[in-house]
Amino acid sequence: MKLIIEIPKEFEANFENDKFSDSLYHVAADIDLNIKSGRCGSSGRHEIETIAMLQDALRKAEVITE
């Protein structure tokens, strides 16, 4: 599946820097910590796997300028 997303101007530098990898890493770490500590929450392993998929997809993203 391919999709095209529009990154708002204020987030372009973050995408160009590390393709949101750092931000997604922090979210995944928070979810993992909650799982390990037994804290309740609506996020879990599926969300960590989804974040990993997004990180990989964004890392491989092609930038098309119009």
- Sorted by where each begins, the domain ranges of the chain are 17-59
Helices (H), 1-66: 12-18, 21-37, 45-59
Q: Does the global pTM surpass 0.85?
A: no
**pLDDT tens, residue by residue, 44-58:** 778 888 899 999 999
**pLDDT tens, residue by residue, 14-35:** 899 999 999 999 998 888 888 8
Torsion, CA 36, CA 24, CA 47, CA 55, rounded to 10: -130
Listed residue (19, 20, 28) closest to 48, CA to CA: 28
